[in-house]
Structure 1
């Protein structure tokens, strides 16, 4: 897709949500001689698994990190790839405004690629839209429209028309994600899904690049952040535990001692007066 032309089209057009679904499909499912929905454009946002959507004879392999755009009434074949469940969000939207914008978007089919951290932010918007669409009313219609524009803005700001990331780049991006999201309970499964890999392969690549498994890296980063908070702040141990994404403060204390040989309170007492 021509990203510059896409940006111009979205800036000039007027859009409204038609419908929104989250759909799960069983492994090995195949559907041929189908068509996209008439009169509306659509975004296919993969959540889990892999599939191939063939639009007007052109095959598009889809997995988390790749978003597909399609116009109305396009010839469509679909098949699930591999033995896992294929799950995706399907967003249909109306286009109005200048004739050339409407014609361009209604004839457009292609993919945009997002790096894992940006794709995770997109998932947040998708979940919000799913929640809003479950309740009728004028206010939620307005919220739907706002979220549609937010999703489009995110795709246009962070999407790439070609996949540029190697596996090593993907792991590096997820290391940055861990470093910025240490206040959450991040799991290795979550990270592997963001990378579009199985857990075993992701863990192997992570260890190869970082010298330790992802779980140990996540915990180590949280503990190092807790050290900084214990030395430079007077907030309680339970508050620090919550700030690094560990809700059970007793578990945090045991973990902290395992990694440092100090309890959080004795670490503060020992090093708080001598940060050097």
Structure 2
């Protein structure tokens, strides 16, 4: 199977990212490319869902199987291909973007970013919607094309790791599951030690992993979750500030007011007057 679509340039010129050429290959043993520098003036993203193949980088042949992917920047030399005996099932897209994301920056700096990703992260369904829209292209679908491509890139950010990365995907999933449980029960009297036990790590190891994966410390994440719930209660309930402080884990209203004002630039009472219905 070899399906591919070329999209016309969008009528609106200010999308943050937009696909140009995309496809879905399966049982296609002839899939192989070798492009000189400067030939392809767009990013080239390939995600392998089945089969085996390879990509060359600086003379090194890098195996690419299920859950592997590669991203080449604009104008880069590219050489890759599917194993004729066990050809890839691969979803791919060429695109342009003006946004700055870590995986794009890595591709730009190294002239090729190679990674593992979680095949069960929902990327297949996002690509499939892109394919469906491409098959019956309509101008009104342009915002959706841009949004789906952005969703693919952000999903990869959260569910991928460099081939030689220091944090395996299963650990990333474990930390995110812990973060979800903390968010759900943010009113509990969490400590670093209790959050660490929930994740199954020592406090030191948990702090380092959490900060690396979530981009903030566990205590900062907990405070953000509590503030988000407090803001919702301020605008949607008649609870007093003291009651909201108690129900969101701050307990002392004076401390709650101090933290809230530092984060939002106004006390809770003013926030309620400004944004409450």
TM-score (normalised: structure 2): 0.46
Larger proportion of helix: 1
Larger relative contact order (Cα-Cα within 8 Å, sequence gap ≥ 6)? 1
TM-score (normalised: structure 1): 0.46
